[in-house]
Amino acid sequence: MNVTANDNNTMITVRNLSKTYSRKGVGEPALQNVSLAVKAGELFGLIGPDGAGKTTLFRILATLLLPGEGEATVCGLDVVTRWREIRARTGYMPGRFSLYQDLSVEENLAFFATVFSASIKENYELIRDIYVHLEPFKNRRAGKLSGGMKQKLALCCALIHRPDVLLLDEPTTGVDPVSRVEFWDMLGRLKQQGIAILVSTPYMDEASRCDRIALMRSGRCLATGTPARICQSYKRPLYSVRSSRMYPLLGHLRSWAGAHSCYAFGHSHHLALKDSATDIASLETYLKEKGYTDALIQPVEPGVEDCFMELGND
């Protein structure tokens, strides 16, 4: 049964997976009935805030935790019975910075290479693209690197044994936007090498960098699919509204009769209408009455973040 998954190039399968930490007692399940599949060469994103169950899922796939219910395979191998083989073929980067702060960049890399029975030389091609950023600092202690650099080094270390599957738990959290963009560029090039990449992030704007995503919240999958498909599933008419007085505008938009929900979105507010029959023209009148003479109302395409909030509302 588990072999079939491997036939069509599926590297990770998760079927109806649930997990409850028994010691927590009162706690809700960390994972509830999650299913997904990641193919070779695919960049799959788990998008969700802290507490969504992303780390639990990663630990189960990295064979560090046993699943509660349901099943999961990595490289076609069951995570419960074939964990030893999975470990040899997986690159795992845990959420916390997992390198040795008191070892230099080069020492860290060499250490993880030996531990995984690989050498920097034979796999240098794979990491070269990333390592060039680190090369100028190769004698610096890892603890003295910036957040973005640390994550690049951790990625190198996870890649050094040329894994088939890469599990990256929140690699961009706390990393500045520039380094984040660079990091995602690197992942984009890695997947072209045929590596299946499962990556989690709390930043919704990073969803567009993934081939497919799963929106997660409180241990549940809210939606799975390509970012475009998920955005298409957004049913309500969505408008962007802005004026010179943004904060009071938010309150007034929410109390407008036709409003379903309204959230601040950078320089404008995103206003979701109750249904497509709602008359948007009456909004202009309403806002004029409230004293907004410069209000600019435009239809807007929903993004992943809109979808997440809409799904989370239910």
Partner 1 sequence: MYVIETDKLTKRFGGFTAVDRISFRVESGEIFGFLGANGAGKTTAMRMLCGLSAPTSGKATVAGYDVYRKSEQIKKHIGYMSQKFSLYADLKVWENIRLFGGIYGLSPKQLARKTDELLHALHLDGERDTPVNALPLGWKQKLAFSVAIIHEPAIVFLDEPTGGVDPVTRRQFWELIYDASARGITVFVTTHYMDEAEYCHRVSIMVDGRIEALDKPPALKETYHAANMNEVFQSLARKATRGGV
Partner 2 sequence: MKQFLSFITKEFHHIFRDVRTMIILLIIPVILIILFGYAISTEIKSSPIAILDYSRDNVTRRLAEQLQASEYFKLYRTAGSYEEVETLFRQDKIRLAVIFPAQLAGAGEPSIQILADAANPNEATSLIQYATAIISTSDIAVSSLGAEVRQPGIVPAVNLLYNPQMKGAYNFVPGVMGLILMLVCALMTSVGIVKEKETGAMEVLLVSPLKPVYIILAKATPYLLLSMANIAAILLLSRFLLNVPVAGNLILLVSISILYALVALCLGLFISTIANTQQAAMLLSGMVLMLPVILLSGMVFPVENMPWILRVFSNIVPAKWYIIAVKNVMIKGLGMAFIWKEAGIMLFMILFLIAVSAKRFKTRL
Residues that bind partner 1 (CB under 8 A): 26, 48-52, 133-134, 136-137, 140, 144-149, 173-181, 202-205, 217, 246-247, 250, 263-267, 305, 308-309, 312-313
Distance in angstroms (rounded) separating the CA atoms of residues 59 and 53: 10
Q: Which helix (H) or strand (E) holds 109?
A: helix 105-115
The smaller minimum CB distance to partner 2, of residues 92 and 183, is found at: 92
Q: Is 67 in the site for partner 2 (CB under 8 A)?
A: no
Binding status of residue 157 toward partner 2 by CB under 8 A: yes
The yes or no reply on residue 50 touching partner 2 (CB under 8 A) is: no
Query: Smallest distance, Å, CB 110 to partner 1?
Result: 18
Question: Looking at this protein, which amino acid is placed at residue 9?
Answer: N
For partner 1, the closer of residues 121 and 247 by Cβ is 247
Nearer to partner 1, 114 or 128 (CB): 128
Of residues 82 through 111, those in contact with partner 2 by CB under 8 A are: 83, 87-88, 90, 92-103, 107, 110-111
Nearest to 132 by CA among 195, 186, 176: 186
69-74 vs 10-19, strand pairing mode = antiparallel
Q: Could you give phi then psi for residue 216, rounded to 5 degrees?
A: -120, 145
Helix (H) or strand (E) holding 92: strand 90-93
Is residue 177 within 8 A of residue 205, CB to CB? The reply is no
| Minimum CB distance to partner 1 smaller for 69 or for 107 | 107
Nearer to partner 2, 113 or 287 (CB): 113
- Least distance in angstroms from the C-beta of 274 to partner 1: 18
Tokens of 230: 């998920």
- Over its C-alpha atoms, the chain yields an Rg (Å, rounded) of 23
Tokens 């979105």: give the residue.
265
Please choose which of partner 2, partner 1, none residue 63 contacts, taking the beta carbon within 5 to 8 angstroms, the exact cut-off set by kind. Answer: partner 2
**Least Cβ distance, residue 265 to partner 1 (angstroms):** 6
Q: Specify the DSSP element, H or E, that contains 146.
A: none
Q: Which residues contact 136 (CB under 8 A, 6 or more apart)?
A: none
Q: Nearer Cβ to partner 1, position 28 or 125?
A: 28
Give the residues lining the site for partner 2 (CB under 8 A): 59, 62-66, 83, 87-88, 90, 92-103, 107, 110-112, 114-117, 157-158
